[in-house]
């Protein structure tokens, strides 16, 4: 029964994991697929989106990006109907947009440029001409810094972000083998997929992958042909949650109960109901109901949790 734990060293997050700053390299690897996805939708070079994200969010470390998922410094404007936060910027107590997730910030960045007439001329440029795009953003007044275009170009060239404009991603996994990348298309021909890097395993007859460094639900969803909201739902997680290294991420609905050979679980110190739900691949709400517990209530050390049949 405890063999499943090899996939499950993931629930308790340390304080240091939250306090540790994200490096630029980690930030790029984390959000590169979203930048490419937005390029496919709009024609905005992925290198420009990525460089702006790095610059405006401090590689995801700024207070605005950490607390409000705003990675592009976009202010509210009169058209904004979503959540708002206030920070001192060019003026005191200015209104900034707040997002449900980082991906929503990337999507809104695209929409902001596409829907604002002053950026219309940018979309006449070659989508691989990142220098002209950077200069165009400066002329259009995206930011007040006099060298804004030069900063973007420097970030792109120092980090070779122009590769993203050709959909050449930076491999987020250091030790992947060619076997992980091989597949077949509809005709049976051998193909290579740079995004297919996670081995799918099963727990309680439910498919799952193990998160690696830099993974996000958004990245995993793109790789596996799912929506990010589906992964949040499959794993009983709140929007915006990010997995940690070695965390089990279910890629389909968990079961309502375990198999007949796993009837109960005795709670160890520090274990939560969500931990037990993920450990055995069973849905969280039925687990609460089966044990006559209220949602949010946590078990005591040594308590027996019923996994398959209702507690008498």
Q: Is the overall model pTM greater than 0.75, yes or no?
A: no
Measured between alpha carbons, how far apart are the two ends of the chain, in Å? 23
CA distance 112 to 99: 14
What is residue 167's DSSP assignment?
Answer: T
What is residue 7's DSSP assignment?
Answer: G
Where along the chain do its domains lie? Answer: 21-166, 173-250, 264-306
Q: Is 101 helix (H, G, I), strand (E, B) or coil?
A: coil
What was the pLDDT predicted at 270?
Answer: 84
Which of 136-140, 184-188, 266-270 comes out lowest in average pLDDT? 184-188
141-157 confidence digits (pLDDT tens)? 999 899 999 999 999 99
**CATH architecture label of 21-166:** Orthogonal Bundle (1.10)
Does 109 have pLDDT greater than 50?
yes
Q: What percent of the chain has pLDDT over 90?
A: 45
Greater model confidence, 90 or 204: 204
Instruction: Give 280's contacts (C-beta < 8 A, 6+ positions apart).
Output: 4, 203, 204, 258, 262, 265, 307
Does 3 have pLDDT greater than 70?
no
Does 20 have pLDDT greater than 60?
yes
What was the pLDDT predicted at 171?
Answer: 52
Structure tokens at 102: 């980082």
Choose which CATH entry (3.40.630.30, 3.10.350.10, 3.30.1180.10, 3.40.50.10380) describes domain 264-306: 3.10.350.10
Helices (H), 92-170: 102-115, 130-139, 148-158
């Amino acid at each position: 029964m405890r063999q499943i734990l090899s996939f499950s060293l993931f629930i308790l997050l340390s304080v240091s994991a939250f306090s540790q700053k994200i490096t630029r390299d980690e930030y790029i690897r984390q959000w590169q697929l979203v930048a490419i996805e937005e390029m496919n939708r709009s024609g905005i070079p992925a290198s420009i989106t990525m460089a702006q994200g790095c610059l405006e969010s401090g590689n995801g470390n700024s207070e605005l990006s950490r607390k409000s998922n705003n990675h592009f410094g976009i202010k509210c404007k009169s058209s904004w109907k979503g959540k708002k936060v206030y920070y001192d910027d060019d003026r005191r107590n200015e209104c900034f947009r707040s997002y449900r997730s980082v991906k929503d910030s990337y999507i809104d960045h695209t929409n902001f440029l596409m829907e604002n007439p002053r950026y219309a001329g940018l979309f006449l440029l070659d989508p691989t001409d990142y220098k002209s795009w950077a200069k165009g953003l400066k002329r259009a007044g995206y930011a007040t810094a006099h060298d804004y275009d030069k900063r973007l170009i420097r970030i792109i060239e120092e980090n070779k972000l122009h590769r993203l404009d050709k959909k050449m991603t930076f491999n987020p996994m250091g030790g992947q083998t060619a076997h992980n990348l091989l597949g077949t298309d509809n005709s049976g021909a051998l193909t290579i997929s740079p995004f297919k890097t996670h081995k799918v395993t099963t727990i309680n007859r439910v498919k799952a992958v193990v998160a690696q460094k830099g993974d996000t639900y958004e990245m995993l969803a793109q790789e596996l042909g799912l929506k990010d909201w589906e992964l949040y739902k499959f794993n009983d997680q709140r929007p915006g949650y990010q997995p940690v290294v070695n965390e089990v991420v279910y890629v389909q609905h968990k079961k309502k109960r375990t198999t007949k050979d796993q009837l109960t679980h005795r709670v160890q110190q520090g274990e939560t109901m969500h931990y037990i739900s993920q450990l055995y691949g069973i849905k969280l709400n039925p687990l609460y109901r089966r044990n006559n517990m209220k949602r949010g209530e946590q078990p005591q050390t040594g308590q027996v949790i019923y996994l398959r049949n209702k507690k008498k």
